A and B are shown apart, each in its own frame.
Chain A
Amino acid sequence: AQSVAQPEDQVNVAEGNPLTVKCTYSVSGNPYLFWYVQYPNRGLQFLLKYITGDNLVKGSYGFEAEFNKSQTSFHLKKPSALVSDSALYFCAVRVTLRDDKIIFGKGTRLHILP
């Protein structure tokens, strides 16, 4: 079965330190992977995606993600965290067999401590 896992419900990082939000996936075929961010009482906003090519993908607001095929992971990273990065982050994989839909992880709440 296709699935996405975010093993941490919450991640705490001091402002200015590097941050990592973890994501692993299980899909048939080549994955299309996405990261989204959600602020309180808002919809999800697209951050970045991996389709093919370079394993390091750069996205919005200084975020990047590293695709690792052997470990089936797509971790979100940022070199220096800001308090404004505090939000709920979702990893997602797009499945396009018979149907076309996205499977989301359960989300990781990121707290950046001033």
Chain B
Amino acid sequence: DGGITQSPKYLFRKEGQNVTLSCEQNLNHDAMYWYRQDPGQGLRLIYYSQIVNDFQKGDIAEGYSVSREKKESFPLTVTSAQKNPTAFYLCASSNGGSFYSNQPQHFGDGTRLSIL
């Protein structure tokens, strides 16, 4: 079955440590997204990528970095500069671009990141 796989499901970060969250999709989608979810705040966009080797900052990119070397992969690194990283992180994909703008996003099941 096609879908989005996020790993790990749970992740713990020590002080001063960078951690990387994995997101892989086999839907052949061009666009991929990273969201942060905090209770009562809904989803906030961290980064998104419309095509391989290109990505744009979302609303809360500070303290995060991404890469898009392959169409199916969009890993997110939470750096030590992100002082409040505890949250639920969701990866999504879609057929991007205005031509496909009526298509919904597909989501992975998330990674819950906590500070040790």
Residues of chain A at the chain B interface (Cβ within 8 Å): 9, 32, 34, 36, 41-46, 49, 51, 90, 94, 96, 99-102, 104-107
Residues of chain B within 8 A (CB-CB) of A106 are: 40-42
Q: Is the CB of A100 within 8 A of B109?
A: no
Q: Is the CB of A96 within 8 A of B101?
A: yes
Q: Which of B43-51, B63-71, B76-84 contacts A (4 or more CB under 8 A)?
A: B43-51
Residues of chain A within 8 A (CB-CB) of B96 are: 100
Q: Is the CB of A101 within 8 A of B108?
A: no
Residues of chain B at the chain A interface (Cβ within 8 Å): 4, 6, 31, 33, 35, 40-43, 45, 48, 50, 56, 58, 88, 90, 92, 96-98, 101-102, 104-110, 112
Centre residue among A9, A43, A45, A104 by max chain B CB count within 10 A = A43
Residue of A nearest to B88 (CB): A41
Main secondary structure, interface of B, reads: strand
Q: Is the CB of B90 within 8 A of A100?
A: no
B48 interface neighbour in A34, A42, A51, A101, Cβ under 8 Å: A101
Minimum CB–CB distance for B57 against chain A, Å: 10
A9 interface neighbour in B40, B58, B104, B107, Cβ under 8 Å: B40
Minimum CB–CB distance for B84 against chain A, Å: 18
Could you list some 27 contacts between A and B, CB below 8 A? A32-B101, A32-B102, A36-B104, A41-B110, A42-B110, A43-B4, A43-B90, A43-B92, A43-B110, A44-B90, A44-B107, A45-B107, A46-B106, A49-B104, A51-B102, A90-B42, A90-B43, A96-B97, A96-B98, A96-B101, A99-B50, A100-B48, A101-B45, A104-B35, A104-B43, A105-B42, A107-B42
